[in-house]
Amino acid sequence: MQEERRLAVLRAIVEDYVATEEPVGSKSLVERHQLNVSPATIRNDMAALEEEGYLHQPHTSAGRVPTDKGYRLFVDRLSTVRPMSSAERRAISSFLDGAVDLDDVVHRSVRLLSQLTRQVAVVQYPTLSRSTVRHIELVALTPSRLLLVLILSTGRVEQRLVELDTELADDDLAALRSRINLAATGELIADAVAALQALAPRAAEPASEQEAGAVLDPAAAVVETLVEAMSDHRSDERIVVGGTANLARYGDSFDTAVRPLLEALEEQVVLLKLLGEATSGGAVTVRIGTEGPYEELSSTSVVATGYGPGDALASLGIVGPTRMDYPGTMAAVRAVARYVSRILDES
């Protein structure tokens, strides 16, 4: 009973501190929350929580504020992630369903997350290595020039021009298109590359081992271009950030929380490490204060999850000062990730 009551007191203090930005005293707890105990009991519980490291008193006669340990206990004791309301779900769906391509999905997701949470939103582009091939199209622009279109499970579309050493008849083009799709469609990138190279072995040879001036047959030329497109990992570390202006709400903690975070937002590698590894199955991870990878960001929390059809392809989440609405933020991060995953799966 005593443990549950103290947890209720801690929960009330976290909620009030997030809402008011002021240290919370026993009198305000009695007035705002139905704790069904006397003010003296609440004061004793607050003193015990402070002694155990869950609360901190900024100065004598002030109320208490949660510590990182207090926030962690609060988050860990959340029985479930709060569901979004019907209105919120409709708003998310209508906003994201209007996206026209992968870039639009990512940028809409960032804007939506920052608006829902009033925090800084961070979305990683889907990781190429975890993608599967959805379709490969070959379009003849001239008898010796092809447009190659690679469509991945993430919604990513790559286009390349292929210059052939010989002209290719329509029937031969159709046969080549069929062979390539049969080998690669539905396969993970690494497996698709291996299958394509087996289809046209000469394309797998280093340029130095190919005879100078040798004619590359159409299949080898197409495979060579496809493998190059599939091996382009530049987007794996692309990050989009939105809602930086929301940090203006934390002017009282600018030097300890906001300034280091603003500097971190300029570093893609730092943001990727903050987001951590993408997780599937709807799991939302919360790293609070000193639990993060960077000491200078010890006043920052990160709420993140993986997204993508099937196994997680990338991460999205929010970063901000530790004084945040954790239940609401966790719900928004999970909901947006689910909608983005659905859109990519259907695209």
pLDDT band at 311 (very low <50, low <70, confident <90, very high): low
- pLDDT value at residue 73: 94
pTM of the predicted protein model:
0.78
Whole-angstrom distance, CA of residue 326 vs CA of residue 329: 5
> How confident is the model over 14-23, as a mean pLDDT?
90
pLDDT at 203 over 90: no
pLDDT band at 233 (very low <50, low <70, confident <90, very high): low
Q: Which domains does the chain have, with CATH numbers?
A: 2-76 (1.10.10.10), 86-125+238-346 (3.30.450.40), 130-232 (3.30.390.60)
User: How many other CB atoms are there within 10 angstroms of residue 95's CB atom?
Assistant: 16
Is residue 90 exposed (0-12), middle (13-18) or buried (19+ Cβ within 10 Å)?
A: exposed
Contacts of 153 (CB under 8 A, 6+ apart): 131, 132, 133, 134, 308, 309, 310, 313, 344, 345
Helix axis angle, 86-97 to 102-117, nearest 10°: 150
pLDDT at 234 over 60: no
- pLDDT value at residue 1: 65
Q: What angle do CA 324, 325, 329 make, to 5 degrees?
A: 105
pLDDT at 336 over 50: yes
Place of tokens 């997030």: 18
Alpha helices by DSSP H, listed for the chain, are 2-20, 26-32, 39-51, 68-76, 86-97, 102-117, 170-184, 189-199, 218-230, 259-264, 268-275, 326-346
The one-letter amino acid code at 106 reads V
- pLDDT value at residue 56: 92
Cβ density class 316-325: b for 16+ within 10 Å, e for less? bbbbbbbbbb
Whole-angstrom distance, CA of residue 242 vs CA of residue 115: 9
- pLDDT value at residue 213: 46
Task: Give the tens place of pLDDT for each residue, 140-192.
Answer: 999 999 999 998 887 778 899 999 988 999 999 999 999 999 999 998 888 99
Residues 337 and 305: beta-carbon distance below 8 Å: yes
Element (H, E) at 167: none
pLDDT band at 202 (very low <50, low <70, confident <90, very high): low
Residue 280: both structure tokens together? 């599937």
| DSSP track, 70-85 | HHHHHHHT-SSPPPPP
Between 234 and 87, the higher pLDDT residue: 87
Element (H, E) at 52: none
Between 291 and 214, the higher pLDDT residue: 291
User: How many other CB atoms are there within 10 angstroms of residue 71's CB atom?
Assistant: 24
Q: Are strands 239-242 and 157-163 parallel, antiparallel or unpaired?
A: unpaired
Between 190 and 213, the higher pLDDT residue: 190
